[in-house]
Amino acid sequence: MALLPVTEALQRILDSAALLESEDVDLRHAFGRTLANSVAARVDNPPFDASAMDGYAVSSMDGATTPASFVVIGESGAGKPFADRLGKGQAARIFTGGAMPEGADSVVIQEDVLANGTTVTIREVVLRGANVRTRGQDFIKGEILLQQGRRLTARDVLLAASAGHATLPVIRKPVVAILSTGDELVEPGAPLRHGQIWASNSFGLAAMVEAAGGEARVLGIARDSHESLAAALNVSDGADILLTIGGASVGDHDLVRPALERAGARLDFYKIAMRPGKPLFFGSRVVAGVRQHCLGLPGNPVSAVISARVFLVPLIGWLLGREAPLATIDAVLTEPVEANGPRQHYMRAALDITHSPPRVTPFKSQDSGLITALQRADCLLVVAADSPRQPEGTVVDVLKLDI
Ligand code: AMP
Ligand code: MG
């Protein structure tokens, strides 16, 4: 089978995936979720004319010529409105957030009055509407405040609450079951015997899944045997994506693809024209009537994280109905990049965002055995298959690694 170009592989993955259903969540759990419908205001904000300052509510007509004196006949505090109407020459003590009494259209701040018993005197002319937040000046009932497909920020949640919503319609989180495979793998923290390594990938990938808006379910470690793999695949029921790690190439111990096929999966492709990360497969199966996407990543941690960034993160975004699954940004090379071979290269690199456009410097060593270099990288510098040598100053695509 020929190596599949990255963009074509990604397109095939996205084409096979459909938007998930929506559900209502309460505001407390809405942060980071993706809106299934646009959100409209249920009320005007502010809901009533309110004072923006501590001071005195007056009619600007009464304060048109100065000095002007007012008799203070009551008080309007936040949550405790003044019940009566102000007559000519009358004022009400008012505090920030207090409702404007009938008969008043302006607030004179307390620093600008001379108080003497129940009388206050002002020297400056009162401007109509001064220090008043008028009803609906922020938003009005029915106005669309948040668009469908938006990933909710902390401020979005606050805005929705201030617009009268206690729950929000969001897309269900895609559940991603993560299975590490390999006879050499041991859970992090457990003692290592000679020849063993810790299964680090599951933990990094679970965090990537959650940051992308999915729900990660770590299934543990399957051994390189048909029995162990079959048993592990059985417990992935209910997951929208089954992510396997390792055993994806064609060695004697690479049994994941045959095990998946025995478990009912139809594999669309394996082997991508990318570096690192060539042995990667994708397909799907139907488990208990539900379609499950099967993505098989290479076991090498650097390859696993990079292929998850390139294929898994966009797939999760797609299932959630978000746009621009593989948004790269422009950056300027600080040094030349040599001509590339037939596989698209994702170089670990440093990104300097103090310049505009940002500057990118690929690391000296691109050895895919260096987990430290992956951890230090700010981004992946994308070098297209068969691209010629690119001199310093060339504008290139980079994919941010922001988690
Ligand atoms: P494989 O793709 O199974 O041939 O594995 C390639 C390399 O990645 C081997 O050195 C494995 O020991 C290592 N590897 C496989 N799975 C994991 C994992 N879950 N965490 C860390 N390293 C792994
Ligand atoms: Mg293996």
Could you tell me the residue ranges of all domains in the chain? Answer: 6-20+172-319, 22-45+138-171, 50-133, 329-400
Contact at 8 Å (CB) between 179 and 228? Answer: no
Identify the CA nearest to 165 among candidates 22, 31, 26: 26
User: In terms of C-beta density within 10 A (0-12 exposed, 13-18 middle, 19 or more buried), how is residue 25 classed?
Assistant: middle
Cα-to-centroid distance, 179 and ligand 1 (Å)? 12
Residue 259 CA to residue 119 CA, distance in Å, equals 88
Ligand nearest to the CA of 219: 1
CA distance 196 to 192: 6
Which is it for strands 274-275 and 344-352: parallel, antiparallel or unpaired? parallel
Which ligand is nearest the CA of 248, by number? 1
Mean pLDDT of the chain: 95
**Distance of CA 247 from the midpoint of ligand 2 (Å):** 4
CA angle 80, 167, 146 (to 5 degrees): 90
**Local structure of 301: helix, strand or coil:** helix
Distances (CA, A) of 285 to 260, 266, 268, 289: 9, 6, 11, 9
Q: How far is the CA of 301 from the centre of ligand 1 (A)?
A: 7
Tell me, what amino acid is at 109?
I
Cα 291 to ligand 2 centre (Å): 26
- 295 C-alpha to center of ligand 2: Å? 15
Task: Look up the pTM and report it.
Answer: 0.92
- In the reported structure, the alpha carbon of residue 256 is separated from the centroid of ligand 2 by a whole-number distance in angstroms of 9
In tens, the pLDDT along 26-35 reads 999 999 999 9
Confidence at residue 248, expressed as pLDDT on a 0 to 100 scale: 86
* Ligand 1 site-directed mutation target among 197, 205, 306, most atoms within 8 Å of CB: 197
User: Closest ligand 1 atom, CA of 248?
Assistant: 2
pLDDT band per the 50, 70, 90 thresholds, residue 327: confident
Task: Give 302 Cα–ligand 2 centroid separation in angstroms.
Answer: 14
The residue-averaged pLDDT of 281-303 equals 95
Average pLDDT, stretch 165-191? Answer: 97
Pocket test for ligand 1, best of 198, 249, 257, 300 (most atoms within 8 A of CB): 300
Note the ligand closest to the C-alpha atom of 298: 1
Nearest ligand 1 atom to alpha carbon 180: 19
Nearest ligand 1 atom to the CA of 197 is 12
Q: Indicate the helix (H) or strand (E) that contains 396.
A: strand 395-400
| Alpha-carbon gap, residue 40 to 38, rounded angstroms | 7
152-157 own/partner pairs: CB under 8 Å, 24+ apart: 152/30, 152/31, 152/32, 152/33, 152/34, 152/35, 153/31, 154/31, 156/30, 157/27, 157/30, 157/31
Give distance in angstroms: CA of 210 to centre of ligand 2.
25
How far are the Cα atoms of 147, 273, 359 from residue 130, in angstroms, in the given order? 34, 66, 49
Return the closest-CA partner of residue 67 out of 114, 131, 127, 109: 114
Distance CA 92, CA 70 (A): 9
What is the pLDDT, as a whole number, of residue 288?
85
**Test site for ligand 1: of 187, 196, 201, most ligand atoms within 8 A of the Cβ:** 201
Q: How confident is the model at residue 245 (pLDDT cuts 50, 70, 90)?
A: very high
Q: Which ligand is nearest to the CA of 246?
A: 1
Using the atom order of ligand 1, give the atom closest to the CA of residue 300.
8
CATH architecture of 50-133: Beta Complex (2.170)
In this structure, the number of other CB atoms found within 10 A of the CB of residue 153 comes to: 12
Residue nearest to atom 7 of ligand 1 (CA): 300
pLDDT recorded at residue 324? 65
Predicted pLDDT at 380: 98
In the reported structure, the alpha carbon of residue 210 is separated from the centroid of ligand 1 by a whole-number distance in angstroms of 22
How far, in Å, from the CA of 236 to the mean position of ligand 2? 20
pLDDT at 269 over 90: no
Report which protein residue has its CA nearest ligand 1's atom 16: 299
Ligand 1: lining residues by beta carbon, under 6 Å: 180, 182, 184-185, 197, 199-202, 245-249, 298-301
User: What pLDDT sits at residue 165?
Assistant: 98
Q: How many CA atoms lie within 13 A of 164 on its CB side?
A: 16
> Which ligand gives the minimal distance to the CA of 251?
1
CATH class of 22-45+138-171: alpha beta
On the question of pLDDT at 282 being above 90, the answer is yes
pLDDT score recorded for residue 325:
61
Fold category of 329-400 in CATH? Beta-clip (2.40.340)
Assign 208 to helix, strand or coil: helix
87 Cβ contact list (under 8 Å, min separation 6): 103
Nearest CA to ligand 1 atom 17: 299
pLDDT number for residue 252: 79
Instruction: Tell me which DSSP letter residue 327 carries.
Output: -
Q: Which residues contact 155 (CB under 8 A, 6 or more apart)?
A: none
User: How is domain 6-20+172-319 classified at the CATH fold level?
Assistant: Molybdenum Cofactor Biosythetic Enzyme; Chain A (3.40.980)
Residues around ion ligand 2, judged by CB within 5 A, are: 182, 246-247, 299
C-alpha 100/C-alpha 91 separation (Å) is: 11
Enumerate residues 6+ apart whose C-beta is below 8 A from 259: 226, 229, 230, 233
pLDDT class of 1 with cuts at 50, 70, 90 = low
For residues 295 and 246, the answer to whether their CB atoms sit within 8 Å is no
DSSP letter at 112 equals: G
